[in-house]
A = this chain, B = another copy of it.
């Protein structure tokens, strides 16, 4: 969840991920040991070895994860900086270690389009009257544990915000959602030429600026309100280093790019030298309409509580200890003269810099052409102890144990550790990848497992989580206690969340249609309502912070490592892939059901559209998936099934997710091709393309688009069903 989630996972070809691909199976020969038969007869039928699973989990060491994290977060390691380059070496040395290394490891270099602040001209928000500046934001966080004074701490900035110096009266625009700006307009406020201050949350970073630009806003300032991240605590002594809360000087850095993926090379490898021509500068529109700055929450006091104009709506109020007004301009008698303008100074520089994708591989013994991918980005905004090094620390422990087991003779049948998606490998990854496991921030908090994924991932995550012990109950039971839902098929089960585009899995699921999952430990929502762990993307996200406040003892890191390693080994070594395809049926039913709620169906019918074909397609899918599972059951009962039969059903399982891809479905959204999971802006809880087309048709009357998206969904579901059908 750093910008390299955006730059790495997403900027295809940016290769800032460290991903693992692993596909193996080992142990327990199943039947077919005829003497005189070729030797492979004894290995191709082997199924998962439970005792190796147990051995793996026993060896996962919380102390070693802590050591990993201490090393990884010892200094700032923003992408392409010295600290980051040192981590490249660290990863390579671990994975190439003769005692505990993997089969191989390598790095690939890409030229990535990045945005950095100008060290000579810091970004700032200044308040001035008649040309004289009377206030300017500070350059960075206050030094509280020495870490913040490190020379490589980058000043807070809104990466990819276009340079400029807009100046205008200040308005408070809540979270910068389109509806927030609209509400200001409805209050009679002329937004043209104003500078909007907005809180983090509610809308994506870049969208705060894009939305504002639509209403003529000239500059946008983004700050963190203690209401949103500190459970309301705003006094310095209540915050880090005395608690996990964010000190008043903390600023969330982040990417303000609208798209995921390298802005200059969408769909292509970030190798700018192809053809040799200079790389064009993307137009201002690419990353949003207004110059943007991110500021500490103390800067909030500069705004809402000191503004003139009407009192902001109740839901807009925060925790800065006073009533928030909306402006425009400062109030009389406040901190600043009421004639003061605010100036946003953005001096961001655009550069293309080299960065490496580090990949480690374990080669499969039986099916080296099937990959299990495991990944994370490497770079941070500052020290990045939690984001992303908590994930990398877990990855290194998993690979240490696997490497050790490999050296001790374990033989997997398809290991292949590596990689973000260097796009020259798109077609290879698309054809061969069984699943992608993402562990970015591995521990947001130490209360419970939290997993997201597409439906087939549910079965393997559940199986793993049931085997991992917690302090008083299994990781699975604890998870169900915190987040549960009632499944029509299974009763009360843990709730597997949906994947958005917020981490390194984005290209894997949205563009390549690879079954993906994201696994972490997270909050007890009875204890905190923080939007995210408070030090996120600030100079306070340090090893000390993680060690004392996020996961003392590193038991949650250990639980994540055990769960993820268990999932990974199950995917690599089960004779039949442990992904239950019929679980997609519940999701399809849920999305369909949402389309029959409220006015949706009535409006469709009024425009001669029917959900009948969609209902039929989903019914067909569920029926075919149930038959498919029956055939698997029979196959498992066979004494010695043919390896080609096994491969056939495994391919059907692997490729199911690909059947939902449609590269023509969302022509205006880079990378989004998955008909079930694409992003949407509509509030309708149904299939994304259908939801957006419907919401748009209510305004424009363009029901042809709704018809088109109905067709797209029906085709995708029929195609998915077709993939699972018995061979003619």
Contacts and interface: CB of A to CB of B under 8 A. Distances in A.
Given A368-B648, A431-B651, A643-B644, 14 more contacts: A32-B38, A34-B38, A36-B36, A268-B712, A274-B711, A274-B714, A277-B707, A369-B727, A418-B728, A424-B719, A424-B722, A428-B719, A642-B643, A667-B667
Count chain B CB atoms within 10 A of each CB in A280, A712, A715 and give the residue with the most.
Answer: A715
10 contacts: A36-B36, A275-B711, A276-B609, A280-B704, A361-B728, A418-B728, A427-B655, A427-B658, A427-B722, A428-B722
Q: Which of A37, A44, A651, A661 has the most CB of B within 10 A?
A: A37
Interface in A10-55: 31-38, 40-41, 44
A577 to B, nearest CB: 15
Contact of A275 (B33, B280, B644, B707): B707
Contacts of A658: 427, 431
Considering residues A274, A363, A368, A609, which has the most beta carbons from chain B within 10 angstroms of its beta carbon? A274
Contacts of A728: 103-104, 361, 363, 368, 416, 418
- Between A369, A644, A722, the greatest number of chain B beta carbons within 10 A of the residue's beta carbon is seen for A644
Given A41-B34, A663-B663, A723-B428, A608 B278 contact: yes
Contacts of A639: 38
Contacts of A35: 34-36
A642 B277 contact: no
A125 B428 CA distance: 56
A667 B667 CA distance: 9
Q: Which 9 A-B pairs have the closest CB atoms?
A: A34-B36, A34-B37, A368-B727, A37-B37, A40-B642, A663-B663, A38-B640, A276-B610, A275-B710
Contact of A274 (B268, B431, B647, B707): B707
Contacts of A366: 642, 644
Interface of A: 31-38, 40-41, 44, 103-104, 265, 267-269, 271, 273-278, 280, 361, 363-364, 366-369, 416, 418, 423-428, 431, 607-610, 612-613, 639-640, 642-645, 647-648, 651-652, 655, 658-659, 661-664, 667, 703-704, 706-707, 710-712, 714-715, 718-719, 722-723, 727-728
Contact of A651 (B271, B369, B663, B711): B369
A723 B429 CA distance: 9
A503 to B, nearest CB: 24
A711 B266 CA distance: 11
Contacts of A265: 711
Nearest to A42: B37
Contacts of A427: 655, 658-659, 661, 719, 722-723
A294 to B, nearest CB: 32
A275 to B, nearest CB: 4
A217 to B, nearest CB: 31
A610 B276 CA distance: 6
A482 B102 CA distance: 57
A609 B275 contact: yes
Nearest to A706: B275
A430 to B, nearest CB: 9
Contact of A267 (B425, B608, B643, B664): B664
Nearest to A660: B427
Contacts of A607: 277
A197 to B, nearest CB: 38
A37 B45 CA distance: 12
A268 B715 contact: yes
A192 B107 CA distance: 63
A307 to B, nearest CB: 45
Nearest to A712: B268
A673 to B, nearest CB: 9
**Which of A269, A663, A727 neighbours the largest number of chain B CB atoms within 10 Å of its CB?**
A727
- Most chain B Cβ neighbours within 10 Å, of A369, A426, A706, A714: A369
A15 to B, nearest CB: 15
A191 to B, nearest CB: 35
Q: Residue among A275, A368, A647, A712 with the most chain B CB within 10 A?
A: A275
Contacts of A710: 274-275
A715 B270 CA distance: 11
A361 B425 CA distance: 34
Contacts of A369: 648, 651-652, 727
Contacts of A40: 640, 642-645
A464 to B, nearest CB: 26
Contacts of A276: 608-610, 612
A431 B275 CA distance: 32
A704 B610 contact: no
A393 to B, nearest CB: 25
Contacts of A644: 40, 44, 366-367, 643, 647
A686 to B, nearest CB: 14
